[in-house]
Amino acid sequence: MDGSFTYNSLPVRVVFGRGTLSTVGEEAERLGAKRALVLTTPQQEAEGRRLGAQLGNLFAGVHAHATMHTPTDVTEAAMAELERAGADLVVSLGGGSSIGLGKALALRSGVNQLCIPTTYAGSEMTPILGETKDGLKTTLRSRDVLPETVIYDVDLTFSLPPAFSAASGLNAMAHAVETLYAQDRNPIVSLMAEEGIRALAQALPAITADPADAEARSNALYGAWLCGTCLGSVGMALHHKLCHTLGGSFDLPHAQTHAIVLPHAVAYNAAAAPEAMAAIRRALGADDAALGLFDLLGRLGLPRALAQIGMPQDGVERAADIAVEKPYWNPRPIEPDAIRDLLARAYAGERPGQRRL
């Protein structure tokens, strides 16, 4: 353990379990809400309406227009709806896209947020908001966007397709991995990070084999909660910088991009972060952290090449240039040639860690 450290705990109320959605009215009232606007994506509108019925008198309507990367024009339209509805609470139902929209509204209006996550992305536990304007994504950290209450209902995750569950779980693991070597890491978040990786590493193969496995679904959501808490508590490093660059520049799918890049980012940092690697090895039950993650992708049937998810071939050079421009702090210094090599390997789906020469 490091001799001294700083730990910021985040004041989020969490209700976890199966069937916990039934507490939504009670939880909304606990926040003093009078009118609650449900936010979700077009794909989850029907679930949003069912949730509305559970809110009873508090229900002020569904706004089902959330989309990836929180574009500001989508937020402006939702702000108008929030005002029209006279809502004092947003209930964000869905993955990071729905929750991102709720955070953007909270930032602009001070409205309270009750989140009901249905993926493993972890945004509900962070004071972080990424917003996109004119194709440029910027990220801010503020207590103003931290949700007040989170209801995790395992039952809502059964419908998440196994392939997306696996990718989303790897997205969560990435938060924990970077926590273990963050500049401001501390023993408390490291405990959560190792446990989060362990829970997801055990749960995801079981979900791939049987998406209706309740115990695995429960463990995955528990792991995602821990990993989200990690992301909310400490700084991000190379992996998140690369994924933000790739997502922003080439509009690649968020969760799948995280899954593909993670083993390569870990290999890049391995020699500079031996304690983190030991924790990842323990959590995965693998001999090598980067290869353990790469093998996990294979076992889960996930794509391992950025080329498979829409990255253009000439994107490697462009992404490498952008990624080294304003790097986040990272345990190993950012070396442009090695970053280009890392991205070339991830583009082609090669095993992590060796030079291509």
Q: Pick from 342, 350, 259: which is nearest to 300 by CA?
A: 259
**Nearest distance from residue 277's CB to ligand NAD, in Å?**
24
Judged by beta carbon, residue 61 or residue 211, the one nearer ligand NAD is 211
Q: Which residue in the set 20, 92, 97, 113 belongs to the binding site for ligand NAD (CB under 6 A)?
A: 97
Distances (CA, A) of 251 to 210, 247, 344: 31, 5, 18
User: According to the binding rule CB under 6 A, does residue 149 interact with ligand NAD?
Assistant: no
Taking CB positions, which residue lies at the least distance from ligand NAD? 96
**Given 185, 239, 241, 254, the residue binding ligand NAD (CB under 6 A):** 254
Q: Is 121 among the residues that bind ligand NAD (CB under 6 A)?
A: yes
CA dihedral 313, 318, 321, 324 (to 10 degrees): -70
The structure tokens listed for 98 are 């729905």
Between CA 262 and CA 268 the distance in angstroms is 10
For 7, other C-beta atoms within 10 Å of its C-beta total 11
Residue 240 is a binding residue for ligand NAD (CB under 6 A): no
Q: Does 96 bind ligand NAD (CB under 6 A)?
A: yes
Q: Does 159 bind ligand NAD (CB under 6 A)?
A: yes
| Cα–Cα dist 347/264, whole Å | 11
Least distance between ligand NAD and beta carbon 231 (Å): 6
Q: Which two tokens stand for residue 238?
A: 């190379």
Q: What minimum distance in Å lies between the beta carbon of 272 and ligand NAD?
A: 25
Q: CB atoms < 10 A from the CB of 136, how many?
A: 9
* Interatomic CA distance for residues 217 and 212, integer angstroms: 8
Decide if residue 138 touches ligand NAD (CB under 6 A): no
Cβ-contact 171, 255 below 8 angstroms? yes
Going edge to edge, which strands form the sheet with 149-153?
Answer: 13-17, 149-153, 112-117, 89-94, 36-39, 59-63
Q: How far is CA 262 from the centre of its chain?
A: 13
Q: x/- binding map, residues 320-349, to ligand NAD, per CB under 6 A?
A: ------------------------------
Among 200, 188, 161, 168, residue whose Cα is nearest residue 283: 200
CA 19 to chain centre: 23
Q: Would you say 138 or 308 has its CB closer to ligand NAD?
A: 138
Residue 68 touches ligand NAD, criterion: CB under 6 A: yes
160 binds ligand NAD (CB under 6 A): yes
Contact flags string 1-40 toward ligand NAD, x per CB under 6 A = ----------------------------------------
Dihedral angle at the C-alpha atoms of 28, 30, 33, 35, nearest 10 degrees?
Answer: 30
| C-beta closer to ligand NAD: residue 117 or 352 | 117
The whole-angstrom separation of Cα 130 and Cα 49 is 27
Of the candidate residues 20, 112, 123, 249, the single one contacting ligand NAD (CB under 6 A): 123
Taking the least distance from each CB to ligand NAD, the nearer of 96 and 292 is 96
Based on the shown chain and the rule CB under 6 A, indicate whether residue 44 belongs to the binding site for ligand NAD: yes
118 binds ligand NAD (CB under 6 A): yes
313 touches ligand NAD by CB under 6 A: no
Q: Is 245 in the site for ligand NAD (CB under 6 A)?
A: no
Per-residue mark of binding to ligand NAD, 220-239 (x: CB under 6 A): -----------x--------
Q: Which residue has the tokens 């998440």?
A: 160
The binder of ligand NAD chosen from 12, 64, 114, 129 (CB under 6 A): 129
**Distance (Å, rounded) from C-alpha 118 to C-alpha 29?**
22
Q: Given the rule CB under 6 A, which residues bind ligand NAD?
A: 41, 43-44, 68-69, 94-98, 100, 118-119, 121-123, 126, 128-130, 156-157, 159-160, 168, 231, 254-255
